[in-house]
Every structure is written in C-alpha cells, then in structure tokens.
Structure 1
Amino acid sequence: MGGSSPFKDRSNSQHSASFSSFFWRYLTYTVYAILPIALFRLYFYPLPLPQSPTDRLPLSDHILVAPSLSSPPPAEKAGGDATAEAPPLLLPPPAPPVCDYTNGKWVHDKAGPLYNGTTCGTIKDGQNCIAHGRPDLEYLYWRWEPHQCHLPRFQPIDFLQLLRNKNVAFVGDSMARNQLESLICMLSSVSEPTLVYTNGEDNKFRKWHFAGHNMTISVYWSPFLVKGVEKSSSGPDHNELYLDTVDERWAADLGWLDMVVLSVGHWFLHPAVYFEGGSALGCHYCPGLNHTEIGFYDVLRKALRTTLKALIARTRASGRSTEAFVTTFSPSHFEGDWDKFGACPKTKPYQEGEKLLEGMDAEMRKIEVEEVEASKADAREFSGFRLEALDISKLSLMRPDGHPGPYMYPFPFADGVKDRVQNDCVHWCLPGPVDTWNGILLEVIKRWNGGETTE
C-alpha cells in the first residue's frame, strides 16, 4: 500500500546479480586471452626506449672505428636474438716510423760538445786536438740532422739509466777505441768512472766502472774480430788471419757481456795471409810469398760471418740476453801523401751531394750491413739476441774537418810550417764527429726499450 512489492524487488535484484556475474566472468576470460598475445608482442617486438641527449650525439672524431670488413659479426644470444651490436673498436695511434739516421746533413750548432780535452782524461793523446793546439775550433759546432726525424742531443744520464747493472764492451781496432773514449768522455760529464782494469801495450784492454749505476764499459783490442797474429818488427811483415776461428781474447767473455759494439775495417787493408780450415786460403799484398793474391772484401765478409755466428751461438748457450751493434766502416780523408803538409786540410763539413760514398768505402759498408742483416735473419727466432748495424759511413764521410791531421802531435808547427809532417786523417778528434755515433747508438737502445729512459 504505499510500499513496494517484495516479489518485484527480488526479481530485479536477481537480474542484476546474474548480469554482474556474467560480466566479470567474460572480462576474466578476455584478460587471460589477451595477456599471452601482449607478452608475445613485447618479447619479439620490444618498444624503443627513449634516448638520452648523449645517446643522440655522433661519435667523437678522436675515436677510430674499425671498418666493417675487419669487424667481427655480432654474437647471437640464446634464443636467436642477433640484434645487439658489438661496441666500436678503439684503435691505437700508428707507431712512428723508425728513424733513418743514415741520410741527412750537418747543420751548425752553437751548443758545442759536452766535454773537452781538459774535462776528460780518457782521450788518447793522438786524438786530443784541442790540447795539441789545433787553432780552428769550428769543427766542434756541427750537429747531424737526419732528413725525416730528429736526433736529440746526447743525454748521458739516459745512457747510464738504460744500461744500469749492465756490462758493455767495445771490440775491434782503434776505431772501436775512438768510439769508446768518446762515450766515456760524454758519460763522465755527469758521472765519474773508475778505471778498474788495464792491460796490454797502449792500454788495449781496459775496463771502467760507473758505481752510481753499477755499469761497466770495456774495450778489447781485436782488429780482425777473428783470431789473428799481427805483424811486428821481430816477426813477419804481414798479418795472419784465421777466418774460421773467433778471437778468444774477447769472445771468451761473452757469457757476462750484455751489450757488444763491434768495429773493424781498416786493418783488413794491410798485407796479410789468410787461413781457413787449417790451410792457407791466399793473401793480400804479399810479394815473395807463395800464396794466391786475393782481395780483402771476401775476407772481411768471412771474418764478420764467423764473428756473428759465434756471438749468436754463445749468447744462446749462456742464456743471457745480449744486444750487439756493428759500427760500419769510417772513411778516411787523405788528400795526397800521409806525411805531406795539408793531407786533410778541410775545416768545414761537405755539403749534401758534394761528396759521394763510393768505391772501397761503399763496398766495406755494404759488406758489413749485409752480414748484419743475414745474422738478424738467422737469429730471428732467438728472443735473447738483438743486432743492428750502426750505419755511420755516410755521415762520417761528410766530415773531412774532424780528423787530427798534424795535431796528432802537440803543436806541430811551433817551430814553423814544415813541408813534411805526419798526419792522421783516419781517426777523429775528441770531442768531434765520433760523438754523433754514440748519439745514434743511444737512440737505438732507447727504441729497443720502448723509448723509456727514466728509472
């Protein structure tokens, strides 16, 4: 009567409940059906992620990316996903080319040498040109400038640090001694050595010790590197060389040497008889002897080959790493007779192209360089041995002003100019051009050590 019928209200309620139940069941089934499809879509076709500002920047110009031909293909992930890209490869800068110190020119350098005849007491008397009164000193103010690189000024402390705790030896004739004394003088400018051993006529066997770096430097007289008997006033007037036997006066010490610098050439020009395999092979300039006259070029080659083979074999047997150099032939500059005034009169270097390396000078150098290269190939698989030709022939050829000349003796013209006077146009004044040889030697050692020179 004013109120609603109880039957009518129940019917509407039943109808609403039935519809609601159907709706939720349908929605649940729909979700269950759509969810796998959505997951499948996201798994195989992921949505792109938003990029940060740095992601949108191009690659830096300083980063080298390997070209596609040299890049490996991207590794596939489990499940076949190959969309991930490998990161760009960063390539190191190219190594600088090895400096060719052979070709260049002499340029004037006001810096001058590191030492002189009074600050270094090691100079052989015959090469002490300043102390002997040579009046022109311009020969002291030149620097070798290679065409394609820079040869730094010799730094004695670098040499001492690189050869710390090492034993160094110069082996050969008087040119080896000339180079050794140059090195000792330059090192003495920063560290005073102690002469700990001397023996032989004219101090042909000597050893110095640099206590601050525990380094020794020795000189061995061996003008042929192989076994030889030198001519003397009491014996035959020629040398005797045994081309298949190394000179044990220096080779016996190879077990403790860390670096060896070999230098020969000029003594092969002297009269000599050559032996090989226990019999005479021939001779050079031996009139009156019953031997076949042969040239000295092949003899030099045989001697070097025997020497370098022994050096490699004994280094390998000792288990000690050894670095070796062969200083190439150093040309002389005689103009006329050796005892005539003005035999080597030049006071300035030759200009480039003014003097060519040719004839005997070129052939001697060629033999030495070829034998070094052949020995390097033989020892290629032996990591304990390194060998290089110290090619100083051309730069030395261009320095006719660097010899003692008449100043191999003190004040040769104190009593006036003489028409005949003994000249040395073979060896080098100290200081002088030979200092450059050791500058190149140091640069090669630095290269072998990765350019490192500090302790």
Structure 2
Amino acid sequence: MTNPLKGQYHSHSLTKNFLPYAFYALLPIALFRMYFHPFSFPQSTPDQLPHNNSYILTSSSSSKEEEIANETRCDYTNGKWVHDKMGPLYNGTTCGTIKDSQNCISHGRPDLGYLYWRWQPSQCKLPRFDPNTFFHLLSNKHIAFVGDSMARNQLESLLCILATASNPNLVYRDGEDNKFRRWHFTSHNITVSVFWSPFLVRGVEKSKTGPDQNELYVDTVDERWGADVDHIDTIVLSIGHWFLHPAVYYEGGSVLGCHYCPGLNHTEIGFYDAMRKAIKTALKTIIERKGANGYGIDVFLTTFSPSHFEGEWDKAGACPKTKPYKEEEKILEGMDADMRAIEVEEMEAAKVNAKQFDGLKLEILDVTKLSLMRPDGHPGPYMYPFPFANGVHERVQNDCVHWCLPGPIDTWNQILLEVIRRWNIQSTREESKEHPMLARF
C-alpha cells in the first residue's frame, strides 16, 4: 500500500494538496473496520475495571506487552467469594423467563444474603456484567445454549440480565417444558436459543412406557441442535448430571456397555468413558462442520456444577446453608473433580483439532470450583412456593442441584462475557498490527 504521507518529503505544496484526499480516502476504510470489528470499552465504574487495564497505554514497549497479556488472559478458576453490597444484577420478581422452581424470591425464600456475594479471581478482576457490552459484542449474532437443565438455568440467567436493558422477544418454543426456545433482541439483532440435549449425542431418554435406561449413541451427535450449527455464532455446551442415570451405550452400531443396568446382558462400564466420548463427538462435529464451511464460531464448554445435598436427594436431603464455603472448608474432589477433568481434557484436545481451521475459538467455562463453594445458592425447599406457609412439614423435597435466579449462576455469564470481550481485544490488536494505518483512527 502506498504511504499517503510520502509527498511531504518532496514538496510542502504537494503535501498540502494531497493530505485532504488521503484523509477522505482512508476514512471509509476506517469506518468499515470499526463497524465489523468494533472496539470494546471498559466498565465505567472504576472498581469494576480489569486489572492493569490495557486501555491506559504507557510509553514503555515492555509495559504495553504486559498490559496486553493481562487484558487478554486470566484464570477464572481460582479465587474466592467476597461480600458485595451492590447485590444482584436483576430483580428476580420481575424477570418473566425464570423457571418457577428456580425463582426463589417469588417463592418466599426469607434469607437474601446469598444475593450479596461476587466471585473474585486470584489473578484479575471480574467486571460486573454490562448488558450494553454484550449487545455491542454480539450484535447481529446467534448465541445458543445446548445441553441439560443447567444449560437452561444459565440461559435464563443471561436473559434476565439482558432484559434490564432490552426486551427479549420469544419467537419460538417447542417441546415439553419449553425445552426448545428462541428469543430475539430486535434492538441489536441478537438471537438467543436453548436446545434440550442432556447428552449432546443422540439418545432415547427413559420413560414410563419405554426402556428403564437411557439409550445413548456416543458417536452420533444429537441433530436437534447439530442441524442448526451452521446458523450459530456462539455455542455454550453444558452436560453432566444426566450421565449419573442408568444407561445403555452404543457405538459403531453395537452395544459398548452400560451404567447400572441389572438384568441386561451388558458389560458394566460406568459413565465416565461414555461422557468423554459424548463430549468428544460434540466438539468434533462442531469443529468439522463450521471449519468445513469456512465460518467461525465461539465454543464454550461449561464444566460440571456440583450439587450440595446433605443426605440422599430422595430421602429428605437438603441444602440448608446460607453462606458460601470458605477456602479451607471445601476442596474439589471425587466425582466433581473427575467430571471436570474429563471436560477440561476434551476441550484441550479439541483446541488442537481446531487449529487446522480459521475462525474457531474454543474455551472451557470452568465454573466447578466457584460453584462448589456456594451451597447457599440453590432453591432448596423453595423450589415450591412458600413451602412452610402451613407450618413445618415432616419432609420437604429440596432442589440442591439447580441455582436460584438471581444467584451464583449469574457469575457464569459474567465470565462468559469477559472471555468474549478479551477475545475481541486480542483480535483488534492483531488486526492493528497487520494494518497499522487503520490503528491511527
């Protein structure tokens, strides 16, 4: 590209005449770049700004590199819950998308202290979710949540946050319990969908009239969401709890084994390997389908969310705690750690596979530890409206798996948005290096 300022070394007159034309020639290019790759801006509240905010540039080259590194990388896995007087991001009594059994406030939960905590990562700050930043970054895009009821729980959290700034219009719903739904934000042409797919792969869920076990085909993706991948720009996968149920697994057209299937002539193999294969199949399908057509996609895999039953879930097990665990009170171990490890390992392997294609970004949404520390965030008995209105019952069913809305699960979406924002910053800087003239505008 010819340097538009070259004429200044020959003649002052030529420079004076040429510069205005150069400016008007570059202006539409700059506007074009800013429209398709907009700059991100930090949160306006000072105590919510990311650590070592890279928007404040210094004259030192090494300092710039350090700031860029801090701005684009952060481990949200480790940290602690700290008290936050600002409270929740939205009012649960006015958000129309919350599933009734997770609407703890409207169901009369009396203790509201669980709403006043925020996750503080060890290496950086996690900004409070700003709906306008989300709208800015995902304008004209489609984000889909795919998986089990935890995917739906996270989706409803996001919708409630966004509804504080713009009204989501429900444009599609289908299936029992509204398991397939789609919303549209006309203000920014953003589509938000949820796909019920508790295993990610093709399966037959057990029922009263069907088999006593789930039947899973671990090498075949569930096309109820797979068929729409070409029209999705950001996908958030979430599975785990349904793999604890009895199941028979199929691979390559034959029985692979089963998990808890007494009376059937199948090899007991547990559920860990089947879950690993299901995740591998889902990620591989997304990468190949999006990579083959040349379109990019952002892929997130939300890690396993531990439950907090004190006792057996079906034998009056409850989650009565009203505060988060402290660091020394709870460690990640056992099944919770194993489920998370499988998801992290498969995502890392998928990242390697995705390198053969352009435009694919994959990241683990590691929420296992931060969720483990929040035994106070579940509906508990308030999965039902005012469960103790007529006095204390001998036994009240508790939900210690899903999360109250508002509640700790809102943090999952804060991390999701922050990762997308940091990706945008990194992409913008890389493009500025390739086209330095555009970086001046």
The C-alpha deviation readout for 1:62-89, integer Å capped at 9, x for no partner, is 8669xxxxxxxxxxxxxxxxxxxxxxxx
Question: Aligned partners of 1:101, 1:63: CA distance in 2, in Å?
Answer: 29
Counterpart amino acid of 1:320? Y
From 336, 344, 356, the equivalent of 1:369 is: 344
Contact 1:340 / 1:423 at 8 angstroms: preserved in 2? Answer: no
Written as runs of structure 1 = structure 2, the 5 A alignment for 1:350-389 is 350-389=325-364
Counterpart amino acid of 2:69? P
SS at match of 1:268: helix
Contact 1:323 / 1:386 at 8 angstroms: preserved in 2? Answer: yes
Q: Higher helix share goes to which structure?
A: 2
Question: Aligned partners of 1:175, 1:221: CA distance in 2, in Å?
Answer: 10
Counterpart amino acid of 2:119? W
Query: How far 1:420 moved relative to its partner?
Result: 1.1
**Bigger relative contact order, structure 1 or 2 (CA pairs below 8 A, ≥6 apart):** 2
Q: What stretches of structure 1 of length at least 5 have no aligned partner?
A: 1-61, 66-89
Query: How far 1:136 moved relative to its partner?
Result: 0.4
Q: What stretches of structure 2 of length at least 5 have no aligned partner?
A: 1-57, 429-441
In structure 1, the residue matched to 2:406 is 431
Change in 2 beyond 3 A, CA 1:451/1:416: farther
**TM superposition score normalised by structure 1:** 0.79
Matched, 1:303 2:278: yes
Question: Aligned partners of 2:395, 2:294: CA distance in 1, in Å?
Answer: 55
Matched, 1:412 2:412: no
Counterpart amino acid of 1:256? H
From 106, 125, 134, the equivalent of 2:81 is: 106
Contact 1:340 / 1:421 at 8 angstroms: preserved in 2? Answer: no
Query: How far 1:419 moved relative to its partner?
Result: 2.2
Contact 1:341 / 1:419 at 8 angstroms: preserved in 2? Answer: no
Structure of higher CA gyration radius: 1
Counterpart amino acid of 1:221? W
From 249, 253, 264, the equivalent of 2:228 is: 253
In structure 1, the residue matched to 2:93 is 118
In structure 1, the residue matched to 2:176 is 201
Matched, 1:181 2:181: no
Matched positions, count: 368
In structure 1, the residue matched to 2:69 is 96
Matched, 1:332 2:304: no
Query: How far 1:415 moved relative to its partner?
Result: 1.2
Written as runs of structure 1 = structure 2, the 5 A alignment for 1:57-136 is 92-94=64-66, 95-97=68-70, 98-136=73-111
Change in 2 beyond 3 A, CA 1:309/1:233: same
Counterpart amino acid of 1:368? E
Query: How far 1:342 moved relative to its partner?
Result: 6.3
Contact 2:294 / 2:358 at 8 angstroms: preserved in 1? Answer: no
In structure 2, the residue matched to 1:442 is 417
RMSD: 1.6
Contact 2:291 / 2:358 at 8 angstroms: preserved in 1? Answer: no
Question: Aligned partners of 1:415, 1:252: CA distance in 2, in Å?
Answer: 49
Q: Percent identity?
A: 72
SS at match of 1:171: strand
**TM superposition score normalised by structure 2:** 0.81
Query: How far 1:96 moved relative to its partner?
Result: 2.8
Query: How far 1:339 moved relative to its partner?
Result: 4.5
Change in 2 beyond 3 A, CA 1:340/1:286: closer
Question: Aligned partners of 1:276, 1:452: CA distance in 2, in Å?
Answer: 39
Written as runs of structure 1 = structure 2, the 5 A alignment for 1:139-218 is 139-218=114-193
Question: Aligned partners of 2:63, 2:365: CA distance in 1, in Å?
Answer: 33
Matched, 1:291 2:266: yes
Structure 1 segments (4+ residues) deviating >4 Å: 62-65, 339-342
Counterpart amino acid of 1:199? D
Out of 313-322 and 424-433, give the one that drifted further. Answer: 313-322
Contact 1:327 / 1:392 at 8 angstroms: preserved in 2? Answer: yes
Query: How far 1:93 moved relative to its partner?
Result: 3.7
Matched, 1:272 2:247: yes
Question: Aligned partners of 2:210, 2:280: CA distance in 1, in Å?
Answer: 28
Contact 1:227 / 1:242 at 8 angstroms: preserved in 2? Answer: yes
Counterpart amino acid of 2:147? G
Question: Aligned partners of 1:213, 1:416: CA distance in 2, in Å?
Answer: 49
The C-alpha deviation readout for 1:37-79, integer Å capped at 9, x for no partner, is xxxxxxxxxxxxxxxxxxxxxxxxx8669xxxxxxxxxxxxxx
The C-alpha deviation readout for 1:271-323, integer Å capped at 9, x for no partner, is 00000000011100011111111111111111111111100010012221110
Question: Aligned partners of 2:424, 2:305: CA distance in 1, in Å?
Answer: 27
